[in-house]
Structure 1
Amino acid sequence: MRNGRSRTACDVAMRYLYTAIRTNPPAQVFAQLAFGFALADADPRFVGVNIAAPEHDPVAVRDYALHMQMIAFLKARHPKVQLSLHAGELTLGLVPSRDLSFHIRDAVQIAGARRIGHGIDIAYETDAPALLAQMARDQVVVEINLTSNAVILGVKGSDHPLSLYREAGVPVVLSTDDEGVSRSDMTNEYLRAVTEQGLRYADLKQIVRNGLHYSFLPGDSLWQDRPGGARAAACVSMDAPGCGAWLAKNVKAAAQARLERDLQAFEAGHLEEPLDLRVGSTVRI
């Protein structure tokens, strides 16, 4: 506290995801991607590379496979650079049905994306069950953008594939896509998840943990495998000897430790009974 005012805002840390524009001519897209990979390799403020712009644009449709090959080519030369690719931001009526069958698959299997933005056309992908199983096994996370998908694609409620991803065990996070375009914020995205998708507190807790575990923050995770499961050996208990020093060396784990303390404080003040919210728990409130 300083002068009676909270300094919480001063704790906000910014990271950047470099984004190439998929509607430009191929040579320009490649130049943008090459610059983005080099930038992310050289500047730790840039945590990864993305490709965006309307996926149903004629140029984006025509060059989609080429773009994935470009990204794979550059990823092989910059293996430490992380990829979060907008893929599958499509629905019936926007593009011919054949173009609904491979965008997410190519982003995962050819480009090597660790995060998928939108992923709306998953049910139309060739052999969708096998693709979902792979994404669940490899923990390829899907960024769910409820407001954006409702406004831009008209996909909402039971038509949205959020429940499909969750039932398949694919990790998901909530995102705004673009606050300036959608006029939305993260609070509204969580509200929509509850009111439109039927998520409960246990679901939201898992999603907020996912947000840090699958982020591109540097360092090890607080969790050995999936968030909410077994903790890293150094911090099985927050009071364990050496835990503080280990957290100081791992930015991601330190952020997760702060989240766990915040969740514990929230639950102590707002929940009447303690909940067992471990991975696999069926408790819902």
Structure 2
Amino acid sequence: MLAVPSAAMADSASEAEAAKVFDTIREEPQMLRMFLQAMPKGADLHNHLSGTPSAEDYLGWAAAEGYCADPATLGLVPAPCEGADKIGRIAAERPFLYARLIDRLSTRGWQAGVDSDEVTGHTQFFKSFDLFGMVARDNVAPMMMVALRTAAGDNLTYLELMHNPVVMGPYVMGASADPLGEADLAAWLDREIPAIAPHIAAARSELDAEEAETRTGLGCGTEGAEAACDVAIRYLGSALRALPPQQVFRSLLFSFALSDADPRFVGVNIVMPEDWAVAMRDYDLHMAMFRLLEERYPDVHVTMHAGELAFGLVPPAAMKDHMAKAIASGAERIGHGTGIAYEADAPATLARMASEGIAVEVNLTSNAVILGVEGDEHPIDLYRSFGVPVTLSTDDQGILRTDLTGEYERAVTEHGFDYAAMKQVSRNGLEYAFLPGTSLWRDGNVGTPIDACSATFVSRMCKTALANSEKARLQLALEQEFEEFERSSARFAGAAYEAGSE
């Protein structure tokens, strides 16, 4: 158990030793990978469930369900399928075709510079979802198992997963495609809310079954329980911004109502490409929808994909205010935020994010592949220079062929993060998670404990103050994991370091 305050830990011998090891190995890719993989990580706050499994996972599930591959498009075709080859047979007998399927269902080929029939990483990335969509719909629990196992392999404490229940789809798509103006929103909402309850009940029942299947598959609660069972998980419902307005509003209402009704859903997001024509056209309308629903559901947390744009992807004028408008419309966190430097009053937006503790969910691999924004062009260092809280996350790690450790690696190799910065990012994940309860840290000053815990984390006063806080419980667990990790950090350094330390 921890018996020292966090402020003291910052200068502890074990933390200093870990920082020394880190500095020694940061230029050694394999040692750096081992170190960062074992390093405790607080949270992944920007993770789409359907984008987490790998192409190989989807192909395995498709093979088990009798799917075939269309020889012309390499799309997945459900059984019975004539004129196409069974996925299982392709995997066993045609390895080069199977490799092409993997490239088709992910960005692997695009990232390697092969299979370049797709013009951009942006196009290849978003097309992948269409290709495995039917398989994903029927394998939610297996997807959850993949997500939790991957998180456990990254030594992650908490996973905040974007996941829309399957029953949400028919409800959303059943809305009219007719126009809907901002002046019509309140009346439309008053008509819609009375009919939402049975859909929310169905969604909660669906999640009950999926979580039960997931726990069974992982052996949770048994002697053979996998490490994945120890990863805390919550969900975010998501609006679908590229649909007609009434369908977007239904997806947003569904997400707010579900989050309000079920504590497993801790907030709401908005997804689909921000640069698509409908999303650009209706951006202000969507912000008005958020503001209205926040009035009706004041306890629901909000994070938004905003500023997921790059210079040249859209006209420069289109990059002037998306993040500012998202924050003005209630966003407590911003996902991606790559376009911040192109906003009309970026310094004011950055200052507001810093002063109000509006964190940015940074997805380095995603931004590089989808937007071409990486290295010095990425604003992660700009955010840090303004004091904006930064978290690192994976976005769609299966499609992007990455994991959270890989995102930490990029922060080190491309942006010069030192050990203290990596530890801060890890702690930030839990501080800015939408978990219930009092934080371990005082007034958002991550690393400085609340008064009740300033002397020790194991006093009766500290335990009483944090007794009913899930957030603080996970933060304390993370601190304990860091203490253990730092005490044994020298094992990652190799013989040369050991000799020099004697």
Same fold (TM over 0.5): yes
CA RMSD, 1 decimal: 1.8
Q: Which residue of 2 aligns with 1:254?
A: 473
In the TM superposition, 1:226-265 aligns within 5 A as 226-236=444-454, 237-265=456-484
Q: Select which of 59, 69, 89 maps to 2:288.
A: 69
Letter in 1 for 2:237: Y
Q: Select which of 36, 47, 51 maps to 2:266.
A: 47
Mapped partners of 1:165, 1:268: distance in 2? 31
Q: Select which of 267, 273, 285 maps to 2:486.
A: 267
Relative to the length of structure 2, the TM-score reads 0.52
Q: Select which of 233, 242, 261 maps to 1:14.
A: 233
Mapped partners of 1:220, 1:59: distance in 2? 40
**Alpha-carbon shift at residue 185 of structure 1 (Å):** 1.1
**Alpha-carbon shift at residue 148 of structure 1 (Å):** 0.3
In the TM superposition, 1:46-195 aligns within 5 A as 46-109=265-328, 111-195=329-413
Letter in 2 for 1:120: T
Larger of the two Rg values belongs to structure: 2
Mapped partners of 2:334, 2:242: distance in 1? 19
More displaced stretch, 35-44 vs 173-182: 173-182
**Alpha-carbon shift at residue 20 of structure 1 (Å):** 1.0
Letter in 1 for 2:335: G
Q: Select which of 245, 267, 287 maps to 1:26.
A: 245
Letter in 1 for 2:345: D
More displaced stretch, 176-185 vs 65-74: 176-185
Letter in 1 for 2:284: A
Letter in 2 for 1:240: S
| Contact 1:145-1:175 at 8 Å conserved across structures | yes
Letter in 2 for 1:149: N
SS of alignment partner, residue 196 of structure 1? helix
| Contact 1:210-1:227 at 8 Å conserved across structures | no
Letter in 2 for 1:169: G
Letter in 1 for 2:431: H
Letter in 1 for 2:330: G
SS of alignment partner, residue 248 of structure 1? coil
How many percent identity over aligned positions?
Answer: 54
Relative to the length of structure 1, the TM-score reads 0.90
More displaced stretch, 93-102 vs 236-245: 236-245
Mapped partners of 2:406, 2:324: distance in 1? 30
Mapped partners of 1:265, 1:229: distance in 2? 17
**Alpha-carbon shift at residue 3 of structure 1 (Å):** 10
| Contact 1:41-1:78 at 8 Å conserved across structures | yes
Unmatched tracts of structure 2, length 5 or more: 1-220, 492-502
Mapped partners of 2:436, 2:238: distance in 1? 19
**Alpha-carbon shift at residue 224 of structure 1 (Å):** 1.0
Q: 1:246 to 1:5 in 2, by over 3 A?
A: farther
**Alpha-carbon shift at residue 196 of structure 1 (Å):** 1.2
SS of alignment partner, residue 73 of structure 1? helix
More displaced stretch, 257-266 vs 207-216: 257-266
Deviations along 1:253-275, whole A, 9 cap, x unmatched? Answer: 00000111111121222269xxx
SS of alignment partner, residue 14 of structure 1? strand
Please identify runs of 4+ aligned residues in structure 1 that moved more than 6 A: 2-6
Q: Which residue of 2 aligns with 1:280?
A: none
Mapped partners of 2:294, 2:318: distance in 1? 24
Higher helix share: 2
Unmatched tracts of structure 1, length 5 or more: 273-285
SS of alignment partner, residue 176 of structure 1? coil
**Alpha-carbon shift at residue 4 of structure 1 (Å):** 9.2
| Contact 1:213-1:227 at 8 Å conserved across structures | no
Q: 1:4 to 1:74 in 2, by over 3 A?
A: closer
Deviations along 1:206-258, whole A, 9 cap, x unmatched? Answer: 01110000100110100012343431233221121133344331000000001
Q: Which residue of 1 aligns with 2:47?
A: none
